[in-house]
Amino acid sequence: MSSITDRALGIHTQALEVASRRLELLASNIANADTPGYKARDLDFRALLNQASNDQAAARITTTRAGHIATTPAAGGLGGDALYRVPNHASLDGNTVDTQQEHAVFAENAVRYQASLDFINSRLSGLRKALKGE
């Protein structure tokens, strides 16, 4: 992405990425609600986003040759492992998914995703207005 859109959209593209990865994990949890031995996982949204904004602020080392080793985990990717959720009540078959809780977190995360989308949308329309010069 060019620097102008990077600067205009700010943290919201990263927030969108974190939210979408988190949605994926939560969908996995809900899908495996009846699988024996499955352990529910989740991402720490705040920690990942903090990390993303710090990455953005810090100077990046660029790789100019094929032999260079990339400093970021992947191109534009966010590091950070999925953590295991602490179960409220243990189930006999070792499954730690609490469907109600997962639904609540999923819904909350869907709203976060939509919020990020709305932010990006309004920034884009702002840019468009500026370009048109009306």
Partner 1 sequence: MNLSKIFDISGSALSAQTTRLNTIASNLANADTASTTPEAAYRARHPVFATVLQEATGAGQSTGQPAASVRIAGIVESQAPAIARHEPGHPLADENGYIYLPAVNTVEQMADMISASRSYSSSVDVLTTTKELMLRTLQLGRG
81 binds partner 1 (CB under 8 A): yes
Q: Which is nearer to partner 1, 45 or 106 (CB)?
A: 106
Question: What is the x/- site pattern for partner 1, positions 99-128, by CB under 8 A?
Answer: x---x--xx--x--xx--x--xx--xx---
94 binds partner 1 (CB under 8 A): no
CB 9 within 8 A of CB 123: yes
CA gap 62, 69 in Å, rounded: 9
- 15, 38, 49, 98: which one contacts partner 1 (CB under 8 A)? 38
Q: For every residue of 62-73, which 3-state class applies, written as one string?
A: CCCCCCCCCCCC
Q: Which is nearer to partner 1, 61 or 121 (CB)?
A: 121
Q: Considering the complex, what minimum distance in angstroms separates the CB of residue 88 from partner 1? A: 17
The closest of 37, 40, 36 to 103, measured between CA atoms, is 40
- Residue 101: how many CB atoms within 10 A of its CB? 16
20 binds partner 1 (CB under 8 A): yes
Burial of 34 from C-beta contacts in 10 A (0-12 / 13-18 / 19+): exposed
6 binds partner 1 (CB under 8 A): no
CB 101 within 8 A of CB 88: yes
Interacting residues with partner 1 (CB under 8 A): 16-17, 20-21, 23-28, 30-38, 43, 73-82, 99, 103, 106-107, 110, 113-114, 117, 120-121, 124-125
